[in-house]
Structure formats: C-alpha cells, structure tokens
Amino acid sequence: MRLLLHICCAPDATHPIQILSDDYELGAFFYNPNIHPGDEYVKRLEDMRVLGKKWGILLHEGKYDKDRWLLLTEEYKEEPEGGKRCEICYAMRLEETAKKASEGGYDLFGAVLTISPHKDARKINEIGREIGEKYGVPFFESDFKKKDGFKKSVELSRDLGLYRQNYCGCIYSRI
C-alpha cells in the first residue's frame, strides 16, 4: 500500500517514517505555508530533502503559499496555540496532502503532526477523516507521540544532525 505523509519538518518525520516504512511504500509531502519567516521554511525544507535522500523517501514539495495561510488565520492570531487557528492550519495542509495523494495514486494519506506533544492528535485525525472522505482517499489515523514517539524523534534527529526548531513555525506562535 502507498501512503503519502504530510511532513512538517524532518525531525518530526524520523520516527513515523521508521515505524511505517516496513508496512507501506511511503511518500512525503512538504507543504507548510504556516512556517515563517522564509529562512525558517528553507531550513526545514532542506533538512527534509537531506532525510528523504538518505532514507530513500520520495519527497513532493508543495507551494509556499504563506499569503493564503495568513489570510485564513489572521482572524485567530491572538489565540493560543492549539485553538481554532491551528485547526484551520491543519485542515489547509491536510487538504493539500489529500489532493496530492489522490493525484499521485496513493492508497492513504496521513500526517506526522501527531508526534508533537503540542498537537491534538484527536483533532488532527478528525479533520483528516473528513478531508479523506471529500477526496476519496482514506486518512491514516495516528498518534505518533505514544510509546515515547516524540522522545525517539528527538533522539533520531540529534543522531542525524537535523535542525530542530523551537516553535511550530507559525509566526503567531513565535511571538
């Protein structure tokens, strides 16, 4: 089965890729218009390119549509991380991933977002299911932070020399 994973950054992708690569033919989709500033976006994309090449993962790169993201989330810029702004951000990125999965003939799509202890896996899975129904590609539900998944991703990214950021990427979470 072919699974397209939305990737927010290489460090968060490490553990999920390791545990899924035996059972799935994986593709990675880097679509993150939420990441600001631009040099931060480039750092994360470059590390994912390195990881994809090192581990033999096909990497698809989405458009850096930061203006659309800002337009969709501006109304919620005062909310703390984890609120409505984040739900809009998840939906935007998962919808593009579902489109890419459908166009690319993938059987499933999913997201490594659930590895973060700051992200609501239940909400991400709910949004993913709804979007999957819309595009006819089932969403691979996960909670990669379980069983020390986040800790393992930190260790793997350190061992691989990957850049590990200290915020989700959103300009509002950085302030």
pLDDT tens across 96-143, in order?
999 999 999 999 999 999 999 989 999 999 999 999 999 999 999 999
30 sits in which H/E element? strand 25-30
What is the crossing angle of helices 84-103 and 121-135, to 10°? Answer: 40
Helices then strands (H, E): number in the chain? 7, 4
Whether residue 44 contacts residue 169, with contact meaning beta carbons closer than 8 Å, is answered with: yes
Q: How confident is the model at residue 169 (pLDDT cuts 50, 70, 90)?
A: confident
Q: What is the pLDDT of residues 9-26, one digit of tens each?
A: 999 999 999 999 999 999
pTM for this predicted structure: 0.95
Widest distance between CA atoms in the chain: 42
CATH of domain 2-174: 3.40.50.620
